[in-house]
Amino acid sequence: MKILFVMDPLGSINHETDSTLVIMKEAWRRGHEINFCTVEDLYIYKAIPYSLVKKAVFEEGEPLFCLREESEIALKEVDAIFMRKDPPFDMNYIFATYLLELASRDTFIINDPKGVRDANEKLYALNFPEAIPESLISKDSNRIKDFLDDVGGEMIIKPLAKCGGEGVFYIQKGDKNLSALLETSTSFGGEFIMAQRYLPEIKDGDKRIILLNGEAIGAVSRIPQDDEHRGNIHVGGAGWKCEITNRDKELCQMIAPRLRADGLWFVGLDVIGDWITEINVTSPTCLVEINKLNDLRLEEQIIDFVERKASSFYSRNN
């Protein structure tokens, strides 16, 4: 197969822990042709989506691929596309999903670009109100302060279009910085944010569950540092081995039909205690950590799935 990975520039990637590189390497190991591009390389000419790409080849023992010749290809020539661009989910990101949606008539894309566009990683969980902590979406500081009272004086606030714990704050009633934090987070009332009831179970870890086609295939518990409220590994959280509990399975079963309907095949579910806090659909991470802790190779299951989907996609369209 010819596979294209749409991803962030190489200079922004951690070559030791990046999940996209792990998936790419497994596909290359199986003999698939691997191509790489960034969102900036995509374009449409005469209603046909194209990209400037470079072929990627892995050398034995090296974590990062080498780039070969550069070429331009029509996306319909590709058998499968991985959309692995990290947020911020800005207008460039949105326009890229429109371009890829046009390509999805001829090529299997994981995740479906329309599904990604419709599934803001903070807001998508609101489709499952029984599975999430009390939440508020607003840009009104006074309303957010009232919410803080309603949930007992502790809350988390988050921007809607960022990832990796960026811009996430823990707030307590009586904090003298409360007004300033809300002004900053909402850009003085110009941007919506999410406020959620603080979950003290975060001290025991923020669990990342990887779902493939709606099924849980692995998990890691991300434990915050003592002086932190965020478990994200790249801000210092520690990855620990954990079980996928019966409650975790219930949550996965609850959201699986909607994920499949929206073409969100590869998803990272964030769970604190018994509650879903986010559903990550753009570029789920933690494959390396889960693999190391459990002696797994999740990338094998992912490429197996893509091979099947691309094959059936080709059969339906020819």
The question of whether 208 is a catalytic residue gets the answer yes
The question of whether 33 is a catalytic residue gets the answer no
| Catalytic residue from among 122, 206, 289, 307 | 122
CB contact set of 256 (below 8 Å; sequence gap of 6+): 211, 214, 215
| Catalytic residue from among 84, 85, 117, 158 | 158
| Catalytic residue from among 206, 248, 278, 289 | 278
Q: Give which of 36, 25, 7 is closest to 64, Cα–Cα.
A: 25
The question of whether 158 is a catalytic residue gets the answer yes
In angstroms, the CA 283 to CA 37 distance is: 15
HSE-CB for 121 with a 13 A CA cutoff: 23
The question of whether 278 is a catalytic residue gets the answer yes
| Catalytic residue from among 111, 213, 232, 280 | 280
| Catalytic residue from among 26, 270, 289, 299 | 270
| Catalytic residue from among 230, 248, 289, 307 | 230
Tracing tokens 């921007």 back to the chain, one arrives at 159
| Catalytic residue from among 112, 222, 299, 307 | 222
Residues with a catalytic annotation lie at 122, 158, 208, 222, 230, 270, 278, 280
